[in-house]
Chains A and B, each alone.
Chain A
Amino acid sequence: MSIVTVQLGQCGNQIGHEVFNAICSDVHGTHGLCSKKENESYCDACKERFFCEEESEVPVARAVLVDMEPKVISQTLSMAARSGYWKYDDRSHFCQKQGSGNNWANGYSVHGPRHKEVIMNLVQKEAEKCDRLGGFFTIMSMAGGTGSGLGAYVTQCLRDAFPTSFILNHVIWPYGTGEIIVQNYNSVLTLSHLYQSSDALLVHENDVIHKICAQLMNIKQISFRDVNQVIAHQLGSVFQPTYTAEGGLHYSRNPLGDLMETLVPHPEFKMLGLRNIPQMPENSLAYSTFSWPGLIKHLRQMLIANAKMEEGIDWQVRPPRLGLHPLSHSANKPLQFNTSIANLVILRGKDMHSVDLGSFRDPSLYTSWLNPQDAFNVWKTPRAFNKYEKSASLVSNSQFLLKPLDNVVGKAWNMFASKAYIHQYTKFGIEEEDFLDSFTALEQVISSYTIL
């Protein structure tokens, strides 16, 4: 089954490019560390998912590139073509001359309806190239105007045109400060709209990735490229082929569907966070060895202590003891403990069959209304990923994003109370009422995640 990626705006296009790069270098790497047969079926599964080969000599990404200004797309297309390993379809992109100006309303209410037909035609064509369409993966930032505003609009259109396909929105959470001044407004509008039409939102926070670049990857002068490469690596670690528990000896053919089934049991909860270990500079890899129990122990503590990376984990945090106060479960739990709805662990590398994941099945990690057996799932493959002989990823529907969400809504609300910048939105037809609706929807989400 195939996934069609939709790259929206500067951020979405830059990250999308890095994702295909990461997938390709993984496939072409000599670090598979598994049998030839294993590697072949892994590569085949990967190609079916992300590339179509048509008549061209290199794989062509199953992607649609959309931006409202031309510079980033033309740069992205030519960089991909130069790589020699893969490329984008020459016709599968759409851009305009003038960007959305960081204005969500401009992207959503003006550019969206105006360019709907062209964009959806491109998507339709890409979808028709798939023997079986598994769903859509959109990549966008929620801070600007094009990714966020047009992205929200396009997601709605995808939902209408493909009512039975899965839609996973990859959303870049902006730096807390310093990118775009109206980013909190744009974020509130984006998240509230995506919550209506998307199946799940997979979130990466720029601040977190920036820290990973500095502390784990030891990069001195961090560029957006560095940040995007870490994001791409993490996404690759989830979406490269794996065996699922049910799938037996075949690589899963429906990664988006499997992901939703595992992680999104209730439409009120669709915010997914991603953690990945280990992460280190390439030149340190040769001097490092990893053991599965060590990786799992760290990943599990990262989950319950809500650590964003494998450094500075708070080892004091423990799950609450169940059964003591069944009615006031949430009120009595230790403050820092991160309650989950559902978790998915992905293991890549040799001996992954021997790994004991009992610590992730502990019912005290999860909210009480879901059967713990249904709340945890694991995907595996003996094939190593991207030069790491062993690696583990965690996709979690938990309180990971509660605090960032509360921050964004709080800051946007402060600004909204002074009515600052509202005139920029009403100019394009987004009224105060629309803001209030969005605030209400997100306060509801915050409240739901809080009382887990």
Chain B
Amino acid sequence: KGIYDEALSSFFRNVDTRSGGDGPDIYKGKICSLKARALLIDMEEGVVNEILQGPLRDVFDSKQLITDVSGSGNNWAVGHKLYGSQYRENIVEKLRKAAEHCDCLQCFFIIHSMGGGTGSGLGTFVLNLLEDEFPEVYRFVTSVYPSGEDDVITSPYNTVLAMKELNEHADCVLPIENESLFDIVNKIHQMINSGKLGSTVKQNSLVTSSAGSAKTVQEKPFDAMNNIVANLLLNLTSSARFEGSLNMDLNEISMNLVPFPRLHYLVSSLTPLYTLADVNVPSRRLDQMFSDAFSREHQLIQADPKHSLYLACALLVRGNVQVSDLRRNIERLKPSLHFVSWNQEGWKTGLCSVPPVGHSHSLLSLANNTCVKPTFIELKDRFMKLYKKKAHLHHYLHVDGMEQSCFSEAISSLSDLIEEYNELDATKGGPRTDPSRLKIAV
């Protein structure tokens, strides 16, 4: 068995299962039994049961689960209001337990989808709970947004209702669109099959591992897609877990990337997606990694940051990359990107010396960019189409605590957000006038 170290301790506890997992954590030495610092919540049992029978069953125990049998019926109100009040105590208690096991709690990750009932409704309820119970701890939310041809009819309602909560209670939101994940998985698949990369493709690299063969891609497309999101979170936290010449803690992300409290939606991209695990990477290919991070195809939502306005941009690099590589690429890319007038040099960088397993280097780019706006506008349109006809409203309104005003407040929260992005977009390309400086009497 391996050694339990600082890096491992960020996501896992090391416990002696003989004491039932309640004993004190073992801090140093060999891995005894790893338990994820996680809480699994679902209002049905299927998915959680599958996890408990899968290869990761040992890292969760029953004390980390909260499930129900009947589901939320794709209804935000059922998840947020009904299950929220019903499970509140239970969730708080389990959260506190998990928190007590941390000697330095830095951040909560909420991972949920926006379109359904449980993830969206109960998920944002948990977000609010976290703010109440742990106001000092950062809340990062990874939100999977529904695509246009989503089969859940009420998904625009659920998403907009959830958006209001994210606007008000999250420190950072990393929006993800299934469509983008799907395209990326397909592309990896094509690259592997086309043989373009020859035999050098590392089948077991993290990104391709569960998409290792064509067969599994078709059978379980979600595994490969989920893997991309998992890698996003791994790279996001790498600098906090491993050493590097320019460390980047999680709290630095919101500090640098969120200039105004509500504008905390960060578009992410991961490169390289199909890495050839060569040890010596020629500099041209390294530079390609930086170029790719800004291309439309590599974004985890359907958006084009290059042709929109950057408020800020972070580059989190792992592996054998030095500060001169970073500087060269920033200088190279800068002319093709638009930055808001007061943040012309809005770059934040981190250098972590430990690359992802099987890779020599990798890059995660996080952009606070107005390119998220089209996604939000489309969402608003789809919401309005239903809302004008009052379609399906009654399913929501009969839930205790749910009023029509919830809908109007949610949509105006979204409209305000879009308006904030509009105002920033309006400054793009205009004449730049620097505000006059303070004058000193000589």
Contacts and interface: CB of A to CB of B under 8 A. Distances in A.
Interface of A: 10, 14, 69-72, 75, 96-99, 101-103, 145, 175-182, 210, 213-214, 219-225, 227, 409-411, 413-415, 417-418, 420-421, 423-424, 439-440, 443-444, 446-447, 451
A182 B104 contact: no
A270 B327 CA distance: 31
Contacts of A220: 324
26 contacts: A10-B247, A71-B243, A71-B247, A99-B251, A102-B252, A175-B327, A178-B347, A178-B349, A179-B348, A181-B312, A214-B324, A222-B324, A223-B322, A223-B324, A224-B246, A225-B245, A410-B434, A410-B437, A413-B437, A413-B438, A417-B342, A418-B259, A421-B255, A424-B258, A443-B438, A443-B440
Contacts of A420: 259-260, 342-343
Contacts of B346: 181
B50 interface: no
Contacts of B167: none
Interface residues of B, number: 45
B243 to A, nearest CB: 5
Given A103-B255, A414-B341, A414-B434, A179 B440 contact: no
B323 A223 contact: yes
A177 B260 contact: no
Contacts of B322: 221-224
Nearest to B241: A71
Contact of A409 (B6, B249, B324, B437): B437
B440 to A, nearest CB: 4
A180 B434 contact: no
Contacts of B334: 177
A421 B259 contact: yes
A178 B345 contact: yes
> Of residues A72, A101, A178, A223, which shows the largest number of chain B Cβ atoms within 10 Å of its Cβ?
A178
B265 to A, nearest CB: 16
A439 B438 contact: yes
A145 B254 CA distance: 14
Contacts, number: 134
Interface string B255-272: 111111100000000000
Contact of A181 (B106, B249, B348, B438): B348
A96 B322 CA distance: 27
A444 B435 contact: no
Q: Which 3 A-B pairs have the closest CB atoms?
A: A101-B251, A97-B104, A177-B345
A178 B343 contact: no
A145 B255 CA distance: 10
A10 B244 CA distance: 10
B330 interface: yes
Contacts of B345: 176-178, 181, 411
B251 A181 contact: no
Contacts of B258: 421, 424
A336 B347 CA distance: 31
Interface string B301-336: 000000000001000000000111111001000100
